Amino acid sequence: MSFGQPWVLTLLVIPIVLLSRQVRGRDRLPVALPVDFSGVRSSRLMAAVIGFAEMLPTLLAAAVIVLLAGPERLGKPVSKRVMSNIELCVDVSYSMTAPFGEGSRYDGSMAAINEFIDYRAGDAFGLTFFGNNVLHWVPLTNDTSAVRFSPPFMRPERLPVWMGGTEIGKAVTACQKVLTERQDGDRIIILVTDGLSADLFNGNDVDLARRLAADRIVLFAIHVADGDVPDVVVNLSHLTGGEVFEAGDPEGLREIFKKIDGMQMARMERTAPERQDFYQPVCMVALTLLGSSIATLFGLRYTPW
């Protein structure tokens, strides 16, 4: 046990002095009572009990002083979830309007993303759309409502011509800048695309992957198209410690997001124990002393007259 204001304990000198005076007072000669023919005999046990009863108010004062000093104790260490910063990088080039299940590739991707958000509660999500240009639609936030309501506004068939192409390198670099602004937590990019990007040729994929790895950013790539995943996208993902997935249908896309959740599980860290108030035992002692002192007032006291 420790105390928030230990200097208050110096006041314990007062009850200690009072107790010592009360103990010495018991050694003095007893008071002669003017009672003739009394049949009551002296009792050392009764004298001790009455003497203790006289000390109860002093002991209660000592307990109050201890309470005023603010007794504390260390709480139990707890595990705290380490937040992950996840930037969702979604391709909105015109090819994302291709059929994919009952909707388009874009529809299936956004539906799977919304399900992924549900079982990553506590993480921060950002949403970036890209084509030939990049648009940070939702900043990194724990409030995912903006991500959930975004699909109708960025449908590829409604976008201007200058968003129609695919420049993955530009988009990933923009997401990198967003994530490096976060000092705490894991950093993850989930790239959803169906195309090949010329700005990753000539070794640019390896250079970009090394920069991501240096910033502790892991990239997972999801290819929502027929055919093999482009080598440059594979390099970009694997060199950061991530993985590449191929989604042939909406159900497969949902399973991919579940797999990513299992691969990049939330980390827990032990936090240092904090000081907590520890009044309960002292209060129990104080209440016991108070109750006992009140009970003795009903007759257990010296009456030398």
Q: What pLDDT is attached to residue 127?
A: 94
Q: What pLDDT is attached to residue 179?
A: 94
Give domain status of residue 302, yes or no: no
Q: What pLDDT is attached to residue 305?
A: 45
Domain of residue 30, residue span: 2-75+275-296
Q: What pLDDT is attached to residue 251?
A: 85
Give domain status of residue 15, yes or no: yes
Nearest-angstrom CA–CA distance, 101 and 228: 19
Q: Are residues 110 and 259 in the same domain?
A: yes
Which residue stretches of the chain have pLDDT < 50? 29, 305
Q: Are residues 108 and 217 in the same domain?
A: yes
- Strands of the chain, DSSP E: 2-3, 71-74, 79-82, 84-91, 99-100, 103-104, 124-130, 134-141, 186-193, 217-223, 244-246, 267-270, 275-277
Q: What pLDDT is attached to residue 262?
A: 75
Q: What pLDDT is attached to residue 177?
A: 95
What's the predicted TM-score (pTM) here? 0.62
Q: Are residues 214 and 90 in the same domain?
A: yes
Q: Are residues 53 and 96 in the same domain?
A: no
Q: Are residues 91 and 60 in the same domain?
A: no
Q: Are residues 258 and 289 in the same domain?
A: no
Q: What pLDDT is attached to residue 252?
A: 81
Q: What pLDDT is attached to residue 29?
A: 47
What is the CATH number for 223?
Answer: 3.40.50.410
Q: What pLDDT is attached to residue 298?
A: 76
Count of beta carbons in the 10 Å neighbourhood of residue 19: 16
